[in-house]
Amino acid sequence: PPDSTVISPNLSTCHQSVGYTGHLVYCCPPKPESEEPFIDFQLPDPPSTLRVRRPVHLIDDEFIAKYNKAITIMKSLPYDDPRNFMRQANMHCIYCTGAYNQKYSNSLLNIHKSWLFFPWHRMMIYFHEKILGDLIGDETFALPFWNWDAPEGMVIPKMYMKEPFLDKERDRSHLPPQVADINYNFVESTLEADEQISRNLAFMYNQMVSGAKKTELFMGCPYKIGEAGACIGRGTIESAPHNTLHSWVGSSLNPKRENMGVFYSAARDPIFYGHHSNIDRLWEVWKELRGYKPEIVDPDWLDSYFFFHNEKSQLVRIKIRDVLNITNLGYSYQKVDLPWLNARP
């Protein structure tokens, strides 16, 4: 379809945005992206080095040392450099607080609460991962995933409790060994650990299977150009455990449970990337469970595009259709058990 019928950002509009009601934030890049040349995304040439994403609770010290080195370099880059850690966290802020207007409508662009959720976040962590790997010269570097849908993963993984993966802005009563309430609703769970775990597994079954039979229920509702704001029809997983774990991790001492608890600051916590790696994996698991039928064939979805900087600091235009096959993107997920699959409530 012509460019003008799909959702895309107008890069020259980046402006102050609403972090939460009554609180304005400014996340835009120091130099306007609209003045940079951009390239169109190209899939890596085969044979691509396969990056295998592993569960955080199963990685070894050697991997942690690599990741530590990469993220330390990333944090030390100047803010002018789009590969800088805070710049990337602010990409999330830009797209999640409506800092861009859409290119062919005056509506703000917002990638939550709709069918943009899964593909946009896949793109974000894809570039993040490639940058981390490039900073340490390791093409096989893969982000780990926080496997919170399995009992062993239902606590904040140890790795995130030490610098440079630590974030002080987290709820102190939710640090290990506290078992996560993956459907946290701002009320503290009083369940014993094993009860909480079975509750979580039954909830996962609902979000992945019984409550996600129709595509739209899982992927989120269509969000089309010219519509006033997002359609506000989150997919099951986006609502919970995605949103709920964001809130559960963030600090109860901050107005909106920053950092993880609110969009503008969420990606400042390194656990964000492990959280989204698991979200991205669950999209893949859902596809597998339904035999890899294409989830959505509407060109308005397939051709929607966004901009990110790659590991060479080039501005890249990338479409949703570019990211629907993770093998083509050069990564995979280590196969792990799906204990919730037999946890029908």
For residue 39, the SS3 value is strand
Q: Catalytic site residue 174?
A: no
Rounded distance between C-alpha atoms, residue 187 and residue 169, angstroms: 19
In this complex, which beta carbon is closest to ligand C2O, that of residue 130 or of residue 246? Answer: 246
Residue 5 burial (C-beta neighbours within 10 Å; 0-12, 13-18, 19+): middle
By beta-carbon proximity to ligand C2O, the closer residue of 135 and 184 is 184
Cβ-based nearer residue to ligand C2O, 23 or 344: 23
Is 128 designated active site? Answer: no
Active-site position among 117, 203, 263, 306: 263
Instruction: Establish whether 276 is a catalytic residue.
Output: yes
For residue 46, the one-letter residue type is P
262: nearest Cα among 152, 50, 112, 138: 112
Q: Give the C-alpha separation, 224 to 31, whole Å.
A: 29
Residue of 41, 57, 85, 92 marked active site: 92
Q: What angle (nearest 5°) sits at the alpha carbon of residue 106, between those of residues 82 and 324?
A: 55
Name the burial class of residue 161, with classes exposed (0-12), middle (13-18) and buried (19+) by CB atoms within 10 angstroms of its CB: middle
Least gap, CB of 260 to ligand C2O (angstroms): 8
Q: Which residues bind ligand C2O (CB under 6 A)?
A: 92, 96, 112, 121, 242, 246, 263, 266, 276
**Is 263 noted as a catalytic residue in this protein?**
yes
CB-side neighbour CA atoms (13 Å) of 172: 2
Reply yes or no on whether 306 is catalytic. Answer: no
Indicate the residue among 136 and 318 with the shorter CB distance to ligand C2O.
318
Nearer to ligand C2O, 147 or 343 (CB): 147
Identify which of residues 23 and 290 has a Cβ nearer to ligand C2O in the complex: 23
Q: Which of 57, 112, 275, 309 is catalytic?
A: 112
Tell me, yes or no, if 242 is annotated catalytic: yes
Q: Which one of the listed residues 57, 174, 246, 309 is annotated catalytic?
A: 246
Distance of CA 15 to the CA centre of its chain: 22
CB 99 within 8 Å of CB 28: yes
DSSP assignment string, 70-129: HHHHHHHS-TTSTTSHHHHHHHHHHHHTT-SEETTSSSBP--SSSTTHHHHHHHHHHHHH
Give 216's contacts (C-beta < 8 A, 6+ positions apart). 115, 222, 233, 235
Question: 275 catalytic, yes or no?
Answer: no
For ligand C2O, the closer CB: 258 or 343 = 258
Q: Smallest gap, in angstroms, from Cβ of residue 79 to ligand C2O? A: 21
> For the chain, give me the number of helices (H) and strands (E)?
11, 9
Q: How far is the CB of 194 from ligand C2O (least distance, A)?
A: 28
Closest CB 202 distance from ligand C2O, rounded Å: 23
Among residues 242, 275, 306, 309, the one annotated as catalytic is: 242
Identify the active-site residue in 218, 276, 306, 307. 276
Minimal distance in Å, beta carbon 257 to ligand C2O? 13
Structure tokens at 24: 């304005």
- For tokens 């909106």, name the residue: 256
Shortest reach from residue 263's CB to ligand C2O, in Å = 6
Q: How many CB atoms lie within 10 A of CB 74?
A: 22
Closest residue by beta carbon to ligand C2O: 96
Minimum distance from CB of 18 to ligand C2O (Å)?
15
Residues with catalytic roles? 92, 112, 121, 242, 246, 263, 276
